[in-house]
Amino acid sequence: MRIAGLSVVGTLIATLLYYFFEFGWYSVFQTAWQAGEGVSPEDYTNQPAGWMALGFIAPLLQVIAIGLILKWSGWPSLSEAFGKIFCLSVLIGVAVGIYAIAYLPQHSLALFLIDTAHYIIGWSVTAIVLTYLRPKYVAPITKRGSNENDKIEDIYE
């Protein structure tokens, strides 16, 4: 079973791993992150729990995006996938992290490092999981004597 040409099982496993990684990451750096964002634990006391459900959507969309990038790259080997997504995560992670330094009044270097490292580690692990669990390629089957110009689609299981 596939979603956008990606393995549903691989996508769900990568999303769950990424989601729990984020939970652990921001739990470890909670105090520094909250200071960088300019919020306190009290700011979270009266928040409805429903908003936290959106926290699962963000990693799911990121995992699908990373999977599509790898799929569109022809499903590179494990090391190539890691290298491509690692470079992409450094570039995009730094670019996104710069917003915190540039626009938040705190101009927090700690917040920048926490968020940027989160993307680099999370996306790199996601690339490894998705590549390992990618759909397996099955070569097209041709009939004997069939015309070379017949269009037969490649199939992924």
pLDDT for 44: 75
Q: State mean pLDDT over 129-137.
A: 84
Q: For the chain, give percent helix, strand, coil, nearest 5.
A: 70, 5, 25
- Residue-wise pLDDT tens digits, 63-86: 999 999 999 988 889 999 999 999
- Euclidean distance between CA atoms 63 and 123, whole angstroms: 8
pTM: predicted TM-score of the whole model, two decimal places: 0.80
Question: Where are the domains positioned within the chain?
Answer: 2-41+57-135
Q: Check whether 141 has a pLDDT greater than 70.
A: no
